[in-house]
């Protein structure tokens, strides 16, 4: 089988279990899981995570909340605006007509979720707010565990607290309308994420594809009880290229609607992303200049950023 851009291999991402109640730093199970995380991210830039800390009822209600949100009139959804690129409402794009998404900044913080909710439901919607905030808060625990393991894996223990405090969370919820055909159509263009770590969750409708380092696309088929963890460009830069952010896309077929959500850990405004000196040596010269994440995002959405094979290298590569 060739390595053609459209070739799909019957491969599966590594699966790592984070449901162990005794998964704590310093314990043998922690060290073993940390080694699996490092290997998976080195090989694929992503992996499938089993995580049982989110009750099944909350998993069901999150998709009910997404349906309720996207069923709002377009003019209502357009109230979701942000000065930060890709943080507000995104939709009505001719190139990806099946796709629309909405960003909820600070989705693990009750007051911020309430503010977002009142923008779309002036009368309030307590059930929606509680579902979004609870889901984000519990999923952020997985993000913290994974990022702590990554920092440990590369000898950056003394930077862990500073790193964890340097980020906020964005919950991006997404809807992909079925193309009403058995022919495969583009749901979302191939791209790398620009943040630190992304954790994706979806309903039963498939579509996510990830590109390997050999430029081969593989279909991702997560279970209803698992999450896809993916490295973003900002973490690639922070680790001086020790890990890579994988290209991924969504391809749709059939009639069913695909709902998914991504919890993004994102550098705070004004925080400078740069590699610690411990990761720079003769074998690994510094690959990226220090940068502000928001400014990097703004570049990515320029014509030059969109044309770049790697926006990160174009923007701040040495």
Per-residue pLDDT, 8: 53
| Residue 304 covered by a domain | no
How many domains does the chain contain in total? 1
CATH number of the domain where residue 121 is located: 2.60.120.330
**pTM flag (> 0.75):** yes
Q: 34: domain range? A: 8-278
pLDDT, tens only, 6-36: 555 557 899 999 987 778 998 999 999 999 9
| Domain-located, residue 142 | yes
Q: Measure the CA dihedral 153/156/158/162, to 10°.
A: -110
26 burial via Cβ count (<10 Å: 0-12, 13-18, 19+):
exposed
pLDDT value of position 85: 76
Residue 14 lies in a domain: yes
How far is 177 from 97, CA to CA, in rounded Å? 8
**Does residue 39 have a pLDDT over 50?**
yes
The predicted structure's pLDDT at residue 5: 47
Residue 201 near residue 66, CB atoms below 8 Å: no
Domain membership of residue 218 (yes or no) is: yes
| pLDDT value of residue 1 | 34
Residue 64 lies in a domain: yes
Q: CA-to-CA distance for 278 and 138, rounded, in angstroms?
A: 32
**Confidence (pLDDT) at 7:** 52
For the cut 50, the answer to whether the pLDDT of residue 268 exceeds it is yes
Is 70 exceeded by the pLDDT of residue 314?
yes
Q: How confident is the model at residue 223 (pLDDT cuts 50, 70, 90)?
A: confident
pLDDT beyond 70 at 2 = no
Residue 209 located in a structural domain: yes
């Amino acid at each position: 089988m060739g390595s053609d851009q459209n070739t799909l291999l019957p491969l599966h991402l590594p699966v790592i279990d984070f449901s162990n109640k005794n998964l704590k730093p310093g314990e043998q199970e922690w060290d073993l899981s940390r080694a699996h995380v490092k290997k998976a991210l080195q090989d694929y830039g992503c992996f499938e995570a089993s995580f049982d800390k989110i009750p099944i009822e909350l998993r069901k209600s999150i998709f009910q909340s997404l349906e309720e949100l996207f069923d709002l009139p377009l003019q209502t959804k357009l109230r979701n605006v942000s000065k930060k690129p890709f943080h507000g409402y995104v939709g009505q794009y001719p190139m990806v007509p099946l796709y629309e998404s909405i960003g909820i900044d600070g989705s693990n913080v009750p007051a911020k979720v309430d503010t977002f909710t009142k923008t779309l439901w002036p009368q309030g919607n307590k059930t929606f707010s509680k579902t979004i905030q609870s889901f984000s808060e519990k999923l952020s625990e997985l993000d913290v565990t994974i990022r702590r393991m990554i920092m440990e894996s590369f000898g950056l223990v003394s930077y862990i607290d500073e790193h964890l405090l340097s980020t906020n969370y964005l919950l991006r919820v997404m809807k992909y309308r079925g193309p009403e055909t058995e022919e495969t159509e583009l749901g979302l263009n191939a791209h790398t994420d620009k943040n630190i770590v992304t954790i994706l969750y979806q309903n039963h409708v498939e579509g996510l594809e990830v590109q390997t380092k050999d430029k081969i696309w593989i279909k991702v088929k997560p279970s209803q009880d698992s999450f896809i963890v993916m490295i973003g460009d900002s973490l690639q830069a922070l680790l001086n290229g020790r890990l890579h952010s994988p290209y991924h896309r969504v391809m749709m077929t059939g009639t069913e609607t695909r709902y998914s959500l991504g919890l993004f850990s994102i550098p705070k405004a004004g925080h400078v992303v740069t590699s610690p000196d411990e990761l720079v040596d003769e074998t690994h010269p510094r690959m990226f200049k220090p940068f502000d994440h928001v400014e990097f995002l703004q570049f990515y959405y320029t014509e030059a950023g969109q044309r770049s094979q790697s926006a990160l290298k174009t923007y701040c590569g040495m």
